[in-house]
Amino acid sequence: MKLALRDIGHAPSPSFIAEGAVDALIAEARLTPKPALVDERGSGAHRDLDLDTMLRSAHALQPTFLAIARAAHGVRPSQALREQLARIGREGEAAMMHATNGSNAHRGAIWIVGLLCAGAAMHAPEESDAICFSAADIARFEDRYAPASATASHGARVTERYRVAGARGEARNAFPHARLIGLPALDDARARGLDKPGARLDALVAIMASLDDTCLLHRGGMNALDAAQRGARDVLRHGGAGTNEGRAALARLDAELLALNASPGGAADLLAATLFLDSLRRLA
C-alpha cells in the first residue's frame, strides 16, 4: 500500500499530497467543539461561513494542492518556484471564492498548507522538519508579481499595525506552531489516551495559547487576542479536552470569543497544517 502512494524517490506522490491536504482542511472544519469557529454546531463567530461552505472550499482546492505538489516535486526552493506557486495559489483563491460564492473560507490555508504541500513533494513523509524548512525556504523568496492588493489585505495590515509575525512570518520561520506545538500536542494527547477529536482539540488549544493570531486581531484587537490566549491556557491548565474541567474551560472560551465576535482563524489554519503533517508521518 505504501508503495502505491509513493512517486519516484522518497516523497509521496503529488496526488497523495493533495488528497492529504484536502483531508486536513475537512478534518479541521468538522472538528467540534471549536471556540468561535465553524464546526458541526454552526458558524461560530462567522456570518458568511458555515460547514457546508467550508467543505465546498476544501474540495475546490484539490486541483490547487495537486498543481503545487507537481510543481515542487523533485526540485529545490527557488525564486522561480516561489512565483510559480504564487500564481497557482492565486488561481486557487479564485476557485475557492467561486465555490463559496465569495466567502473567504481558506485564503490563509492556501498559503500555509500550500507551502507545506510543496515541502512534502521534496522529502520523505516522516521528515516533518525538512518539509517545514523547505517550505520556509520557498516563502523567503519575494513574489515579484504579487498584486498590489496583497499588501492591503486584512492580514498584512494587522501584521504591520501590531508588529506580529502573521502567516508570512509563520511560514518564513518554518511553521513553529505546527512543528513545535501542534504535533507535540497531538502526540502528548494520544499518549494520554485521548480519542482523535480530543487530541485534535488539545492541539488547537495549544496553538491558540501562544499564537499572535491575526484573525483575532483583525476582528477584536488585542482584547480578543488576550482573551483567546488566556482562555486557551486555562483549558490546558485544567487538563485539556480530555477532562470535564478542560471541557468546561473550552466552553467558557467559546462563549467569550463569541461575545467579542472574534474567531481564531489563524490557529485553525495551523491546526490544518498540523493534521496534514501528521497524516504524512503516518504514511511513513
pLDDT digits (tens, 9 = 90+) for 221-266: 999 999 999 999 999 999 999 999 999 999 999 999 999 999 999 9
DSSP H helix total and E strand total for the chain: 14, 0
pLDDT of the residue at 33: 97
pLDDT digits (tens, 9 = 90+) for 125-182: 999 999 999 999 999 999 988 886 666 677 788 888 998 999 999 999 999 999 999 9
CA distances, 46 to each of 103, 212, 219, 251 (Å): 10, 20, 10, 17
Q: How confident is the model at residue 106 (pLDDT cuts 50, 70, 90)?
A: very high
pLDDT of the residue at 152: 61
Where is pLDDT greater, at 149 or 121?
Answer: 121
Helix (H, G, I), strand (E, B) or coil at 143: coil
pLDDT at 70 over 60: yes
User: How does DSSP assign 151-190, residue by residue?
Assistant: GGSHHHHHHHHHT--HHHHHHHTT-HIIIIIIHHHHHHHH
pLDDT of the residue at 283: 80
pLDDT of the residue at 202: 98
Q: Which value, in Å, is the radius of gyration of the alpha carbons in the chain?
A: 18
pLDDT digits (tens, 9 = 90+) for 22-51: 999 999 999 999 999 999 999 999 989 999
**Rounded to whole angstroms, how far apart are CA atoms 78 and 130?**
16
Between CA 168 and CA 171, with CA 169 as vertex, the angle to 5 degrees is 70
Site of grid cell 484573525? 215
Residue ranges of domains in the chain: 3-144+158-283
pLDDT of the residue at 250: 98
pLDDT of the residue at 1: 31
Q: What is the pTM of this model?
A: 0.94
